[in-house]
Amino acid sequence: MPHNIHLTVAAVVPRQGKYLLVKEGKQGSFVLNQPAGHVEPGECPIAAVRRETLEETGWTVEPSALLGFATYTAPANGVTYYRFSFLCEALDHHPLAPIDPDISEVLWLDRQALANGDPLRSPLVLDAIELYESGVRYPLEFMQDYR
């Protein structure tokens, strides 16, 4: 049994009817995902979603609510991921910021383009958007940081 967990975060960033997404290389093909990634040791999930979004998109964001928490086991590798999805506001774009090498493109897509575009990284991508669109919001105070 593994002795570590894969705690991840994702940013749902809506703006003018579109969502901030990334196209990333995964096992020889491309998939769409929210800006997302692992929480680093000693890092709180709220800080992680800010960092991951900047690293993957060049956008500074501010989380405003927790949309949900999901558990997903990826069929490709059998790894179970624990994912916090946050609603975030886009603040500033930094076009010269270095982007993670796995990211091939940063996109703003509406729901129709998302449905008709590249495959999704996992069902969690659409699930997080559906939580946002249905009005689900949990206050960030739900998460406590006692460091």
With the CA atoms of 98, 60, 31 and 82 taken in that order, what torsion angle do they form, in degrees rounded to the nearest 10?
Answer: 120
Helix (H) / strand (E) element for 11: namely: strand 6-12
Q: What percent of the chain has pLDDT over 90?
A: 81
Q: How many domains does the chain have?
A: 1
Residue 147 domain-assigned (yes or no): no
Amino acid at residue number 89: E
Would you say 7 and 45 are in contact if contact means Cβ atoms under 8 Å apart? yes
Partnered with residue 93 across adjacent β-strands are: 59
In this structure, what DSSP letter does residue 71 have?
E
Q: Report the distance separating Cα 20 and Cα 114, nearest Å.
A: 11
Residue 1 domain-assigned (yes or no): no
CB crowding 77-86: b at 16 or more within 10 Å, else e: eeeebebbbb
Q: What is the CA radius of gyration of the chain?
A: 15
Express each pLDDT in 59-87 by its tens digit: 999 999 999 999 999 998 899 999 999 99
The CATH code of the domain that includes 93 is 3.90.79.10
Q: What is the largest CA-CA distance in the chain?
A: 45
Domain that holds residue 23: 6-142
pTM: 0.93
Q: What is the pLDDT of residue 2?
A: 59
